[in-house]
Amino acid sequence: MTYAFNLEWDELPEELREEKIRQYILSGDKRDCWECDGTGETGGKCCKACNGSGQVDPDPDDLHEQEEAEEDIKAHFPIYF
């Protein structure tokens, strides 16, 4: 695929990159719970973080998720844009 201009992720304004990362995270699937490692139980009891489901909604404020999202966007940029 050929583009009429050179578009680089790192050259975009920071606010726009942050917005795109947030949108990418929020549109993603649920993730394994970090408290119980996706089992739904901690110490033989129902996990309070995920209510026993083993999965939690994506958190756009989680730094680790932000870094993962940015790496994925950069790897597929500008397709996800």
Share of the chain above pLDDT 70, in %: 89
Give tens-digit pLDDT for 59-78.
Answer: 999 999 999 999 999 988 87
Question: Does 45 have pLDDT greater than 90?
Answer: yes
In a domain, 1, yes or no: no
This prediction has a pTM of 0.76
Residue 9 lies in a domain: no
pLDDT for the residue 81: 58
CA–CA dist 35, 48 (Å, integer):
8
Q: How confident is the model at residue 4 (pLDDT cuts 50, 70, 90)?
A: low
Range of the domain at 45: 14-76
Q: How many structural domains compose the chain?
A: 1
For residue 56, pLDDT over 60 is answered with yes
Q: Is residue 42 part of a domain?
A: yes
17-20, long-range: CB within 8 Å, 24+ apart, which pairs? 17/70, 20/73, 20/80, 20/81
